[in-house]
Amino acid sequence: MKLEHIGIAVKSLETSDDLFSRLLGRENYKQESVEREGVKTSFYKVGESKIELLEATNTESAISKYLDKNREGVHHLAFSVDNILEEIERLQSAGFQFISTEPKEGADNKLVVFLHPKTTNGVLVEICQEKN
């Protein structure tokens, strides 16, 4: 397992892209909408990991609800694994609870699941696997 990306909830992708481009000295390598999740994303490579900026595209999205309660900032940590189904089984056996154990398509060509923050010290953790 390795850190794949840090997800950051933002109010404006345009404003945040400008900020992160200046901060990192490079442009994003990809923008993508995930309609099912109601988000638009922007990705930056940082060493072997990435930063994912997430802007809500509707008021029902998890990012919109998060920003209603919190300020902009770190939303989740994502870890990549070789086999997401084996990792779900391992983590369940270790006592972790999931928001859903059914992997779904996420941004950046990934299958994803999320652990429930109540079992991870309040941190939303994403487990992801590259789609074949």
The pair of three-digit structure tokens given for residue 36, joined into one six-digit string: 């099912």
The pLDDT mean for the chain works out to 96
Q: Given CA atoms 5, 8, 9, 13 in this order, what sign does their dihedral have? A: negative
Overall number of domains in the chain:
1
Summarize pLDDT for 76-88 with one digit per residue, the tens. Answer: 999 999 999 999 9
* 8 Å CB contact between 33 and 105: no
pTM reported for the whole predicted model? 0.92
Read off the pLDDT of each residue in 57-74 and give the average, rounded to a whole number: 96
Q: What is the pLDDT of residue 74?
A: 96
pLDDT, one tens digit per residue, over 8-20 is 999 999 999 999 9
Cα–Cα dist 102/84, whole Å: 10
Q: Residue 105 belongs to what domain range?
A: 2-130
CATH for 79:
3.10.180.10
Q: How confident is the model at residue 132 (pLDDT cuts 50, 70, 90)?
A: confident
pLDDT band at 103 (very low <50, low <70, confident <90, very high): very high
Strands (E), 15-72: 30-34, 39-46, 49-56
